[in-house]
Amino acid sequence: MEIDRNCVYLIGAGPGDPDLLTLKAARIIAAADVVVYDHLVGQGVLALIPAHSERIDVGKEAGHHPVPQERISRILVGLGRKGGTVVRLKGGDPYIFGRGGEEAAALARAGIGFQVVPGITAASGMAAYAGIPLTHRDYAQSCLFVTGHLKDGHLDLDWAALSRPRQTVVIYMGISGIDEICRRLMAYGLPGGTPAAVVRNATLCDQQVVTADVSRLASACHGAGIRPPALIVIGAVVSLAPQLDWFSIAGSHCLPGRNGPGPGILDCHQGV
């Protein structure tokens, strides 16, 4: 693959574990003149940025957006006009709740060449490392990805669709509204006994998984002190987590104190 020296690359950095970065993404990062990166890009991925590359941190955290999205788009357009290999590094996948579509549209309007390099989205990485298959012939024939943080700050979701049986629902950016999310789902018919989980820092050594029925999930999340970044996953497939939890065993090589105490599942079905 030949790297375009006058292009803006929108690159998905994956869910956190640097080993999950694609080969194409790694090659482009190694050739970058400037890297514009988000808060959710893991330190292991940032370590791949060459020493000579300019770094621009535009990270956004829950409730704290020091660099507005419109300004990020302007930064990318400005860098694109200067030329060189510009990398826009985003956690997960650029086009799945990463606002990559907005940034690509801004570049297209400005007539600046860009390419999109997909990454393993947070939901897929989370599910694999938490022992939760997103689909399963016996439990879920469909999977929905939704955001719990809308542009206007309101949780105006299609609650009826999210409450249907035999599916898996993954909610991004929903921790701050988890009480309302669980309450609304049950109000629209989702049984309170439906298995659910919250996964924080998915794929990293300090991955934290809390499982509980939907009726108990919010209190379990609060009791465990879960903070963003975390994903909510709801559906019968969550019941497979104890059986398919390979990462708690394989992750025992994680060094204490490096990224936390190591991965594990806190089962709160018996109470919080």
Which positions are catalytic? 38, 60
DSSP annotation of 136: B
Which residues make Cβ contacts (< 8 Å) with residue 80, sequence separation at least 6?
A: 7, 8, 86, 107, 110, 112, 113, 114
Max Cα–Cα distance, the chain, nearest Å: 59
CA angle 243, 245, 248 (to 5 degrees): 140
230 three-state secondary structure = strand
Strands annotated E in 65-194 = 84-90, 114-117, 143-147, 168-172
Strand partners, 147: 172
AA identity, residue 37? Y
Which residues make Cβ contacts (< 8 Å) with residue 169, sequence separation at least 6?
A: 143, 144, 146, 162, 232, 233, 234, 235
Is the Cβ–Cβ distance between 260 and 202 less than 8 Å? no
